[in-house]
Amino acid sequence: MIRHRAPATTLLDYHRSMKTAVLSLLAMLPASLESRAAEIPSGTHLLLKMVNSVNTRTAAEGNQVYLRTDSPLVADGHVIVPVGSYVQGTVAQLKRSGRVAGRAELAIRLDTLTLPEGKVLKFTPQLSAVDAGDSGQKTVGENNRIQQGPDIGHDAARIAILAGTGATIGGLADRSWRGAGIGAAAGGAVGVATTLLARGREVELRQGMSLDVALDRALLVE
């Protein structure tokens, strides 16, 4: 009696069956291992550093503002937004300092955050603080406005210098205290006039300056 044996599985059949099994497994992965987006909560602070320089004397509304993140954003123990990520914004409003009254103001709107891998996120954080240096500029109100500090000390120094110069010139002219007094008065008058005609200090965000911003809503990074 002749018995028929089942044909042996060929190597090609084996590869085909393995390929089918792998494809079936991959098809099930999205349902079983669905990736979860990381969420940075509202109110989180982020330190930014200016890449370009912007000031109220030369800027115009619509000019671009470029910054980099100077601190990371972390969620669930993982760095989601690393240091060095790009931030791009726009000069939304500006006002030059006045000759008699009125402080300079600059408002910027931050629009996008670009991660190192190229992913671009829309975000609109609120400005909390700005590096003032020796200018006295600070954030005021809403809409990311930065206002220049008062010029009282600066103006007083200017008047005093001109008054002192006038006194020296007057004293040399007739070598008397009377001449010095007249010169000081004249110098002081010139100082006041010069101060009134000169513009105050401008708001300036120099390259390398730091800005502290806070997220106004949760930032979702997928």
> What are the tens digits of pLDDT across the range 173-209?
565 656 555 555 555 555 444 444 455 789 999 999 9
Distance CA 207, CA 200 (A): 21
End-to-end CA gap in the chain? 69
The beta-strand segments (E) located in 61-209 are: 64-69, 73-75, 78-81, 86-95, 105-114, 120-122, 126-130, 138-140, 145-147, 204-205
Q: Report the percentage of the chain scoring pLDDT > 70.
A: 59
Identify the pLDDT of residue 113: 97
Query: What number is the average pLDDT over the span 20-24?
Result: 63
Count of CB atoms within 10 A of residue 109's CB?
15
- In this predicted structure, which of 15-24, 143-152, 175-184, 201-210 has the lowest mean pLDDT? 175-184
Over residues 142-147, mean pLDDT:
87
H-helix segments, 126-175: 152-174
Digit-coded pLDDT (tens) for 100-134: 557 899 999 999 999 999 999 999 999 999 987 67
